[in-house]
Amino acid sequence: RFLIKGGLAGAAVYVAYDQGLLGSGTEGAEALKKAQETLPPAIQEWTNYLGWEVRAAQLPPTPKFDFSLSDSWNKGVHTVMSALSVAPTRACEYTVEGWKYVKDLVK
């Protein structure tokens, strides 16, 4: 069983790599576009083969993704760098506020 599961996992990784899903963002976007074009006709073909009556209106529309991984990554990097650049100033401000609070408690 372990060898079968390992073989299936290896095959899945190979197929994902071969289709460009593990590559850059542009390769992933191309693979998604290719899947969106290929999947509905393939589903229709299989339903016809199996004798199921499925109309195109019954199938849900393919989702449209308007998501750029590189833009999200860049936005995250900018946010982290912005927070790190302000961190020393904020640390000084919080330290001064903390000392004022402690002095007020001691009085």
Q: Hunting for tokens 């899945």 — which residue is that?
A: 12
- Which single residue is written with the structure tokens 């001064």? 96
> How high is the mean pLDDT of the chain?
80
User: Whole-angstrom distance between the N-terminal and C-terminal Cα of the chain?
Assistant: 73
Is residue 103 classed as helix, strand or coil in its secondary structure? helix
Structural domains counted in the chain: 1
pLDDT of residue 101: 93
Matching residue, tokens 């199938």:
59
Rounded Cα–Cα distance for residues 104 and 4 (Å): 70
The overall pTM is greater than 0.85? no
Q: Report which of residues 3 and 51 the model is more confident about.
A: 3
The pLDDT tens digits for 62-107 are 777 777 777 788 888 899 999 899 999 999 999 999 999 999 988 7
Report yes or no: 43 and 59 within 8 Å, Cβ to Cβ: yes
| pLDDT reading at 60 higher than 90 | no
Task: Answer whether residue 54 shows pLDDT above 80.
Answer: no
- Whole-number pLDDT of residue 55: 58
The answer to whether 34 touches 22, Cβ cutoff 8 Å, is no
Query: Does residue 57 carry a pLDDT above 60?
Result: no
Domain with 11, as residue range(s), is: 1-104
